[in-house]
A and B are shown apart, each in its own frame.
Chain A
Amino acid sequence: MKNKLLIICCAAVFLISGAVSIYMWNRPRGSTVEIISNGEVVCEIDLSREPDREITVEYEGRKNIIVIENGEIYVREAECPDHTCMKMGKLSDNGVPIVCMPNKLIIRYKGGGDIDAAA
């Protein structure tokens, strides 16, 4: 009985998270990107209109250099131990934001509000 309950719970989590992942992966997005540092939106950028440039965001003296190039955005340099944000490459439109945990930086497509509601 308890086993069955556990099986149902695991299967439900697996299926629901799979379905939500696929839905979020395929969802169409706008072209507005927001950069969040330490919980605050520092700037909003319309990638389709923005000229190529670099943005430096600082947190406790540690810098992240964000590059906008041909309508794409990525982190070129990060002063943090893991460099996960650099390895994540360009921000793709599949709903996975670029995150730098040590420097509390997030780059994501705007309209993440409804992601919060879905989660």
Chain B
Amino acid sequence: MTQPHSSRTRRLTLLALLTAVSLIMFVIELQIPSPVPIPGIKLGLANIVTVFAVYTCKAGEAASVFAARIILGAVFAGTPVTLLFSACGGLLCLIGMLLIRRFTDIGSIVLASIAGAVLHNLGQTAAAVFVMKTTAVLAYLPYLCFAGCIAGAFTGLCAYLVIRRLRRSGAERLMQETEQERKRRRDKNDF
């Protein structure tokens, strides 16, 4: 006999796993020196997980994975300033991608990821203008947006490949609750 909460436990485990994976990618990326000497430009490997979560989990779940990654990431990366930047950028990025997710299907995942990356850059720049108290940092915006398009396309493509592979192998079913579990939950009137 399975435990009544098994589907919720499974969910929690999945989200914890996603958080861990994205945190690892985030820390690994910190070790790679940036190819361009412009602060703010990077590949955003950890965002592969964010895009993946947006397209496979519920909105709240994707948001909690993302929030956990940002906060834990700040513990490793260090400064409160960077936390503010990634929080501002990430929030915009997340909202944008969830909205696009709502109105389109999996086919637009790369586009959603590009839009998310550009929104991330906009949020970052806005935070920078606020922190530095000058609009001089706006000079970075075109470079950031351009790089964001490329990085966003890359992360989106990675997330797409992962999701396609999961679907083909049938592993995606493991992530969702089974019919049996759903029925039992309804019977027990458990949320």
**Which residues of A are interface residues toward B (Cβ below 8 A)?**
2-3, 6-7, 9-10, 13-14, 17-18, 20-21, 24, 36, 38-39, 81-82, 84, 87-89, 95-97, 99, 101-102, 104, 106, 108, 112, 115-116, 119
Contact = CB atoms under 8 A, between A and B. Distances in A.
Contact of B114 (A10, A18, A38, A106): A10
Nearest to B135: A116
A1 B138 CA distance: 33
A111 to B, nearest CB: 11
Q: B-side binding surface: helix, strand, loop or mixed? A: helix
B139 A112 contact: yes
Interface residues of B, number: 35
The 6 closest A-B pairs by CB, nearest first: A39-B133, A17-B145, A20-B142, A119-B138, A17-B146, A14-B149
B79 interface: yes
A99 B142 contact: no
Given A2-B103, A36-B136, A84-B39, A96 B143 contact: yes
